[in-house]
Amino acid sequence: MFRFTYRLVIVVGFFLSTISASDATAKENLLVGKRMFNAYCSLCHGEDGMGKGPLSKKLKLKNGIANLTSDKYQSMSVQELLRLIQGYNRENTRMPKWETVIPERNLREVAAYVLALTQTDLRMRGDVRRGREIFRQSCVACHGPRGEGNGVLAAILQTKMVNYTTKKLIISDEAIIGIISEGKGEMMPPWLGTLSSEEIKDAAAYVRSLYNKD
C-alpha cells in the first residue's frame, strides 16, 4: 500500500504541474476538477460517476462502488463531499485516502466537479479548448473564424449560414451533437467517422460557448 501511495504522489505531482496555470474562475476550476476526476477517479467510479469504471471489475467488491450521481452524494455540500474524498474515519476500504496524495485545494475542485456530474450542461461534458482547435481545423471554412457564419466557403457555395454569436440558443445540447454528427440540410456535412464522438462533443461544447446567451 505504501508503495502504491508513493508512486501516486509522483504521478499526481507531475500531473498537477501540467495544469497549474489554471485560471481562477469557478468554471475553469470545474474543468480542472473534471480532468482530475477522469484521471484518478473514473478508473473505479466511471467517467459518469455511476460506479462502473474499468478497475471496479477487478476489485471484487462486496458492496459495489458508491454511485456518486445518487441523491445521497448530490445533496451534499462541497465541504461534506471533500471530507469523504479525503478519507476521514475510513478503514478497510478500497477507496484510497486521497488526503495523502492530492492537495486539499485540488480535491475541493474534484468535489465540486462530482457535484456537477448530474448537470447536463455541454460545457461540462465537452472540452471547450479542444473544441476550439477542432473548429479552427474543420469548421471555419463555412462557419467563419468566430462562428459568425461568414466563412469563405459559405460565400462560394452561397449557403445561408447561422451566426452563432447573435442567435439565441434554442436547440438542445443533444440537437447540436446530432447535427454535427449527422449533418443538416444541403451543406452541413456529417462529421461522425471523420471526427470521433469525443471530438464531436468537444466541438459542440465550443459551439455552445459561442452562442450569445441573452
Q: Which residues bind ligand HEC (CB under 6 A)?
A: 40-41, 43-45, 55, 61, 65-66, 68, 73, 81, 84-85, 93-96, 98, 110, 114, 135, 138-139, 141-143, 153, 159, 161-162, 171, 176, 179-180, 184-185, 187-189, 191, 203, 207
Q: How far is the CB of 3 from ligand HEC (least distance, A)?
A: 15
Residue nearest to ligand HEC (CB): 185
Nearer to ligand HEC, 24 or 196 (CB): 196
Nearer to ligand HEC, 27 or 57 (CB): 57
Query: Distances in Å between the alpha carbon of 47 and those of 42, 92, 128?
Result: 5, 24, 18
Nearer to ligand HEC, 43 or 50 (CB): 43
Q: How far is the CB of 131 from ligand HEC (least distance, A)?
A: 8
